[in-house]
């Protein structure tokens, strides 16, 4: 029979078969990611920061919220490794504990945004038509409102801000970008023949969205989610810096930099504001390296 | 054919697309029947409505803007498909009608293994357990000619060549033992040697699974090779219907003759290939009267006045042309 010769006329894949196991596109992407030195250094730095956040209680030398009015604005010493702030709180302990807040807010605000973005983006991109128009008009509406002003207004109205409320506010104001990206990914996937193929074997809408669209959109979603986490950390720091973020005495990196608004502290006490500044810098930078690494890994043609 | 029992009966099928106030009559009154065990080919140029006809049968026309008009009828074994609920229609797709597509490179989901994609259909329609479905997937891959089927089930589409993917597509399409296999230009994207293998495989599958084939193609070579009967489509309508031998030996419609004349002939040395002048008119601006009239060499007065009917002129040979008005 003629057709049985097929495996012989394809020596390349036969040769591949011997050397490696079948790798899914995601596994292939991870393999490319591991070869990216910058991305791996990002993973190491972020891993270190996560380690600090997890073991903050052990690493901190003082209670981060305990103030000591007899020991304010002190310099680096064996007692206070990074001195104390204007309320006499230990800067090192606050820095260590601040990593928890930054990472928590960054991660969960990102997660919340991804959930909203995936749901709305999928509906919009899959169904098109009126649903798409409705969601896209709401998206446009959100995008024309100045982000900072919107967040400041909501926070000002709510007055009392807990971490949960803060995460919710940020997520509810940043979803439009991700929604648009997921919608665009869906729109391009919709033209692929395997979607028609899935329909032609009788798959339902839900099944097509979850089994055929989302797994193929995982690349863009992961990349944008990662980059979004970095943005969330910056937003938290920025809002805390101007006093609209997580309220004192909870230690956050943004709160700590607020010390730099005091000219005397800015000139004399670098240990109060430089370490949290660097912490934000390295965290955001490492996350961005990871995000860029993921982008290159999922889309090798982008370079 | 051996048993002349009707499997698929399409009657007055009209699929129109409504865009910006314009109506594109992509399929405009198509009637045909497909008998059990038969291979029926639909040929035509790009834009003749052949693919839309096949998608209409599967009810996969994007809507809006597309719509199958109300008086149309598509019957599979005397069951009207157009009035089925979407849920019931999903049970028909993949289970009773299998479909394979033109582009093997994109018609498999890149993130799942071949086995997974075959098993998906089996689990859905045949209510198989996962393990059982996976075993069946290996068997199916063997049936479509993969010698190392046990390995192929674990491979991803990007590891297979175009011909292998088309084989895998056929395995998926045949997995639930469908009564009808619709093949929409299954060999267009493949090279010539693989083409004939895939065609042979399709015919073999048809025999083995006791199924029928509706083959959509623009390649008359493919038609000559595998079809029993041929429909020639032009401008959303059937212009000629004949047994495959009759079509090639005594084509009647000027369009069919034009198509056959434009096949390169290796025996005679010609400088230029013959072609049919002009192009297919867009589906929202079909001419009055016969749709082929503006391009026809035999055009008469009555051709531009009214569109001729598709009438039987010889035994099992229908044609839509005034030339045969006696």
User: Measured between beta carbons, which residues in chain A are less than 8 angstroms from residue B64?
Assistant: 129
Domain B6-96+176-324 top-level CATH class: alpha beta
User: Measured between beta carbons, which residues in chain B are less than 8 angstroms from residue A215?
Assistant: 109, 111-112
What is the DSSP secondary structure assignment for residue A210, as one 8-state letter? Answer: I
Q: Model confidence over A174-199: pLDDT tens digits?
A: 899 899 999 999 998 888 888 888 88
Q: Model confidence over A111-148: pLDDT tens digits?
A: 999 999 999 999 999 888 889 999 999 999 988 888 88
User: Measured between beta carbons, which residues in chain B are less than 8 angstroms from residue A27?
Assistant: none
Tokens for A58? 């052990």
Query: Which of the four pLDDT bands, split at 50, 70 and 90, describes residue A94?
Result: confident
Q: What integer best gives the mean pLDDT of chain A?
A: 82
pLDDT at A302: 57
H/E stretch holding B61 = none
CB pairs under 8 A between A and B: 114
pLDDT at A11: 46
- Looking at residues B271-288, what average pLDDT do you find? 81
3-state DSSP percent of chain B in helix, strand and coil, to 5: 35, 25, 40
- Looking at residues B225-234, what average pLDDT do you find? 91
Q: Is the pLDDT of residue A51 over 80?
A: yes
CB contact under 8 A, B161 and A10: yes
Tokens for B47? 């834009």
User: Measured between beta carbons, which residues in chain A are less than 8 angstroms from residue B103?
Assistant: 193
Q: Model confidence over B281-314: pLDDT tens digits?
A: 887 888 888 888 888 888 888 888 888 888 888 8
Sign of the torsion angle spanned by Cα atoms B178, B184, B190, B193: positive
CB contact under 8 A, B99 and A26: no
Among A182, A157, A180, residue whose Cα is nearest residue A169: A157
pLDDT at A300: 64
Residue in A closest to B159 by C-alpha: A13
Tokens for A75? 């310099």
Tokens for B88? 């019931």
pLDDT at A21: 65
CATH of A26-51+79-302, one of 3.10.450.30, 1.10.3720.10, 1.10.645.10, 3.40.309.10: 1.10.3720.10
pLDDT at A1: 39
Among B217, B176, B178, residue whose Cα is nearest residue B198: B217
Query: Which of the four pLDDT bands, split at 50, 70 and 90, describes residue A14?
Result: very low
Q: Can you give the residue ranges of every domain in chain B?
A: 6-96+176-324
Q: Is the pLDDT of residue A149 over 50?
A: yes
Which range, of A3-7, A37-41, A240-244, averages the lowest pLDDT? A3-7
CB B241 within 8 A of CB B231: yes
Name the residue facing A2 among B163, B173, B197 (closest C-beta).
Answer: B197
Q: Is the pLDDT of residue A258 over 60?
A: yes
Q: Model confidence over B173-222: pLDDT tens digits?
A: 888 888 899 998 888 878 888 888 888 888 888 888 889 999 999 888 88
Query: Residue B230, SS3?
Result: strand
Q: Is the pLDDT of residue B266 over 90?
A: no
Cα-based angle B251, B13, B253 (whole degrees, multiple of 5):
15
User: Measured between beta carbons, which residues in chain A are less than 8 angstroms from residue B163?
Assistant: 6
Q: Model confidence over B60-86: pLDDT tens digits?
A: 888 778 888 888 889 888 888 888 888
Cα-based angle B261, B265, B271 (whole degrees, multiple of 5):
90
Name the residue facing B164 among A1, A6, A129 (closest C-beta).
Answer: A6
Residue in B closest to A193 by C-alpha: B107
d(CA A230, CA A66): 29
- Looking at residues A233-259, what average pLDDT do you find? 83
Percent of chain A with pLDDT over 90: 19
- Cα dist from B3 to A172, B7, B37, B209, B212, whole Å: 65, 11, 8, 16, 12
**Residue A132: half-sphere exposure toward Cβ, Cα within 13 Å:** 13
Q: Can you give the residue ranges of every domain in chain A?
A: 26-51+79-302
Q: What integer best gives the mean pLDDT of chain B?
A: 86
With an 8 Å Cβ cutoff, the interface of chain A facing chain B consists of 1-4, 6-7, 10, 13, 16-17, 22-26, 129, 192-194, 196-204, 211-212, 215-216, 218
CB contact under 8 A, A129 and B64: yes
User: Measured between beta carbons, which residues in chain B are less than 8 angstroms from residue A23?
Assistant: 156
Query: Which of the four pLDDT bands, split at 50, 70 and 90, describes residue B232?
Result: very high
Strands B73-76 and B79-80: antiparallel
Tokens for B121? 């259909």
Name the residue facing B200 among A3, A200, A204 (closest C-beta).
Answer: A3
3-state DSSP percent of chain A in helix, strand and coil, to 5: 75, 0, 25
CB A168 within 8 A of CB A201: no
ipTM reported for the complex surpasses 0.95: no
- Looking at residues B39-52, what average pLDDT do you find? 88
């Amino acid at each position: 029979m003629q057709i049985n010769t097929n495996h012989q006329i394809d020596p390349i894949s036969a040769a591949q078969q011997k050397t490696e196991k079948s790798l899914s596109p995601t596994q292939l992407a991870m393999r490319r990611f591991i070869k990216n030195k910058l991305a791996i250094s990002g993973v190491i730095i972020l891993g270190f920061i996560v380690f600090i956040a997890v073991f903050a209680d052990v690493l901190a030398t003082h209670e981060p919220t305990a103030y000591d009015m007899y020991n304010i604005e002190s310099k680096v010493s064996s007692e206070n490794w990074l001195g104390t702030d204007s309320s006499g709180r230990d800067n090192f302990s606050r820095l260590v504990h601040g990593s928890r807040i930054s990472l928590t807010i960054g991660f969960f605000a990102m997660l919340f945004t991804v959930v909203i973005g995936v749901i709305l983006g999928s509906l919009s991109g899959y169904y098109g038509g009126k649903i798409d128009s409705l969601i896209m008009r709401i998206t446009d509406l959100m995008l024309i409102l100045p982000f900072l002003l919107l967040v400041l207004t909501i926070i000002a109205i709510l007055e009392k801000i807990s971490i949960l409320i803060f995460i919710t506010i940020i997520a509810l104001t940043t979803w439009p970008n991700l929604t648009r990206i997921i919608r665009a990914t869906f729109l391009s996937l919709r033209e692929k023949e395997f979607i028609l193929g899935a329909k032609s074997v009788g798959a339902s809408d839900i099944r097509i969205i979850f089994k055929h669209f989302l797994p193929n959109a995982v690349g863009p979603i992961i990349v944008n989610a990662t980059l979004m986490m970095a943005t969330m950390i910056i937003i938290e720091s920025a809002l805390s810096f101007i006093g609209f973020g997580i309220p004192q005495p909870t230690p956050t990196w943004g709160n700590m930099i607020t010390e730099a608004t005091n000219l005397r502290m800015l000139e004399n006490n670098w240990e109060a504001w430089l370490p949290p500044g660097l912490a934000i810098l390295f965290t955001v930078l490492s996350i961005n390296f990871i995000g860029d690494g993921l982008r290159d890994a999922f889309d090798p043609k982008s370079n | 054919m051996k048993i002349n029992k009707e499997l698929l009966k399409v009657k007055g099928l009209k699929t129109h697309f409504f865009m910006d106030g314009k109506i594109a009559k992509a399929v405009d009154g198509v009637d045909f029947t497909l008998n059990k065990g038969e291979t029926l080919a639909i040929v035509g140029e790009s834009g003749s409505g052949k693919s839309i006809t096949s998608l209409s049968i599967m009810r996969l026309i994007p809507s809006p803007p597309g719509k199958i008009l109300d008086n149309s009828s598509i019957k599979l074994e005397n069951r009207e498909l157009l009035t089925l609920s979407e849920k019931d229609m999903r049970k028909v797709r993949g289970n009773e009608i299998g479909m394979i597509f033109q582009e093997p490179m994109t018609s498999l989901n890149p993130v799942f293994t071949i086995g997974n994609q075959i098993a998906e259909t089996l689990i859905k329609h045949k209510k198989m357990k996962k393990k059982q479905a996976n075993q069946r997937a290996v068997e199916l891959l063997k049936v479509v000619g993969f010698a190392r089927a046990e390995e192929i089930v674990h491979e991803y589409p990007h590891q297979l060549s175009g011909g292998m993917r088309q084989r895998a597509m056929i395995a998926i399409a045949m997995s639930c033992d469908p009564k009808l296999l619709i093949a929409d230009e299954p060999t267009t994207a493949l090279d010539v040697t693989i083409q004939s293998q895939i065609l042979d495989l399709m015919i073999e599958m048809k025999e083995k699974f006791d199924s029928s084939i509706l083959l959509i193609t623009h390649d008359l070579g493919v038609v000559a090779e595998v079809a029993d009967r041929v429909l020639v489509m032009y401008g959303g309508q059937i212009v000629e219907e004949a047994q495959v031998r009759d079509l090639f030996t005594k084509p009647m419609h000027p369009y069919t003759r034009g198509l056959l004349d434009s096949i390169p002939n290796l025996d005679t040395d010609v400088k230029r290939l013959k072609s049919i002048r002009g192009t297919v008119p867009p589906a929202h601006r079909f001419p009055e009267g016969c749709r082929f009239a503006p391009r026809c060499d035999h055009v008469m007065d009555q051709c531009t006045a009214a569109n001729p009917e598709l009438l039987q002129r010889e035994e099992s040979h229908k044609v839509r042309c005034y030339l045969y008005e006696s």
